[in-house]
């Protein structure tokens, strides 16, 4: 809701996942516009850091509300705190998310469930408590925007990311359902943004139960690009929510050529969306609890093209090693 188009007063912008990555970038952009910024995430110290930055960037005000999006009561309290402070909500952005790498049998139940409860049910919790506020504004027509951040992975399937795939498919379905359910309030705008690879810390902070470390897939967008799209979609929810030059091609392959997609996605994904060289440290990452020392605007995993090059070299090395170890066995037989 850009003030130049709708109103002279600052907007009230509530952002979840505001301690890092896309959420932080969105909060900072709202601050530059002079909005009131309400910051939600699990990590209180990280939120305070972002609040200081937002105030320096020109925010009309900041409100820090440490919140676990998987806890419905905490989400309810956070929305209530924002409304108590400002009397309204203009833009609500759901960008909190966590990732787990590994096949379903390998990912512990509590980690798998937590990914789904944070990404999908956290979005449900946000909608449950923010939408009544938006619907009650605007003199019976409703007023304001709810934008949920999904992923291109919510349109496809990829190896070793079952929990994330399930959760992001659910977010996409949730937005579509909310649009149907809220047609009686034309002033309520419901938006969806699906990024491709983004340079954020989420990959390094992910739970890892596979044989490699995740990295943002090429081509990689800066988080500020996604933030700009999020706030644009808040005004124009039917504007395309895909962000990433390869998103449409990937989705086309998944839908129109499934037999080709399924054959190629494994080898391609390992090269463009994983780090085959970095040491693997298995564990829950930040899924079960915030790891604030890893929070930040960007992920700093280096050049995507260099990463792909290093992965290709590693693939060749592994194949040569496998052939070398197989030869003596063949001779012995």
Contact between 79 and 14 under an 8 Å Cβ cutoff? The reply is yes
CA distances from 295 to 42, 191, 216, 318, 320 (A): 11, 26, 16, 33, 38
Other CB atoms within 10 Å distance of the CB of residue 45: 13
101 as an active site residue: the answer is no
- The span from the CA of 116 to the CA of 291, in Å, is 18
Q: Enumerate the β-bridge partners of residue 213.
A: 275
Secondary structure (H, E, C), 33-99: CCCEEEEEECCHHHHHHHHHHHHHHCCCEEEEEECCCCCHHHHHHHHHHHHHHHCCCCEEEECCCCC
Catalytically annotated residue among 164, 192, 203, 209: 164
Secondary structure element (H or E) that encloses residue 197, with its range:
strand 197-198
Q: Looking at the annotation, which residues are catalytic?
A: 164
């Amino acid at each position: 809701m850009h003030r130049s188009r709708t109103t002279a007063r600052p907007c009230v912008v509530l952002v979840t996942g505001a301690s890092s990555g896309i959420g932080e970038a969105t909060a900072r952009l709202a601050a530059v516009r002079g909005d009131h910024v309400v910051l939600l995430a699990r990590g209180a110290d990280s939120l305070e850091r972002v609040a200081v930055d937002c105030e320096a960037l020109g925010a009309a005000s900041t409100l820090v509300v440490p919140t676990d999006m998987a806890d419905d009561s905490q989400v309810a309290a956070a929305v209530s705190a924002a409304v108590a402070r400002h009397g309204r909500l203009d833009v609500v952005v759901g960008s909190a998310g966590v990732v787990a790498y590994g096949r379903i049998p390998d990912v512990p139940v509590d980690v798998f469930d937590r990914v789904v409860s944070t990404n999908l049910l956290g979005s449900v919790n946000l909608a449950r408590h923010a939408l009544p506020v938006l619907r009650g504004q605007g003199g019976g027509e409703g007023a304001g925007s709810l934008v949920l951040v999904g992923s291109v992975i919510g349109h496809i399937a990829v190896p070793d990311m079952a929990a994330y795939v399930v959760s992001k498919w659910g977010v996409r379905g949730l937005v579509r359902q909310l649009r149907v359910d809220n047609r009686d309030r034309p002033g309520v705008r419901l938006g969806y943004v699906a990024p491709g690879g983004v340079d954020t810390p989420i990959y390094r902070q992910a739970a890892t139960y596979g044989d490699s470390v995740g990295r943002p897939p090429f081509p990689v967008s800066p988080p500020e690009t996604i933030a700009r799209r999020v706030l644009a979609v808040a005004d124009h929810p039917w504007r395309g929510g895909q962000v990433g030059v390869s998103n449409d091609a990937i989705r086309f392959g998944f839908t129109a050529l499934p037999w080709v997609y399924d054959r190629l996605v494994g080898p391609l994904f390992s090269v463009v969306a994983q780090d085959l060289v970095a040491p693997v440290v298995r564990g829950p990452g930040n899924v079960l609890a915030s790891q604030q020392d890893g929070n930040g605007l960007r992920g700093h995993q280096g050049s995507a093209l260099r990463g792909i090059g290093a992965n290709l070299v590693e693939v060749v090395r592994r194949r040569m090693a496998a052939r070398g170890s197989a030869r003596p066995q063949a001779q012995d037989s």
